[in-house]
Amino acid sequence: NCSAIGATTKSASLSALQNLPSVGVKVRGLSADGAKFGLTETELITTVRGVLEQAGVRVLPPPVLERAPETPTVEISANLSQITKTGYFFILDLQLWEPAKPVRKLQTLVTIPVASWAQQTGGYTAKPETVQAALAKLAESFAAEWSEAQGRAKP
């Protein structure tokens, strides 16, 4: 697991998730083997969205997100590789992407997207449910830090 500095500290004031009123959720990448394994972008989004909403995170629906491109967005990457007849190795990334202004002066670029929070996990499985459960744990980690950063008790 790797994460932004905010995840390694107990102080909510240092969390990258402070003052985060809402997020979008979308899939950044789903490998061909992941789709072959039976995973869909809709299922991945539903898993993360469900965990976040249960924790009190306001998740914007896709039509609203499309009209608000600067909204911080939780992005899912699911990279699966089939390595036996029924077994798959998987790596999951959950990242918060949002626009940021560079410290240096730039003539043409006002904001650039950066990952301000990230966690990763992986494993080996023959069951899609295992991948969904691992993704839910990443979302729970995000939700717990988000709750703490807002000064709330953990869900």
Whether the predicted pLDDT of 56 surpasses 90: yes
pLDDT tens figures, 15-50: 788 888 899 999 999 999 999 999 999 999 999 999
Q: Which residues neighbour 69 within 8 Å (Cβ) at sequence distance 6 or greater?
A: none
Model confidence, pTM: 0.84
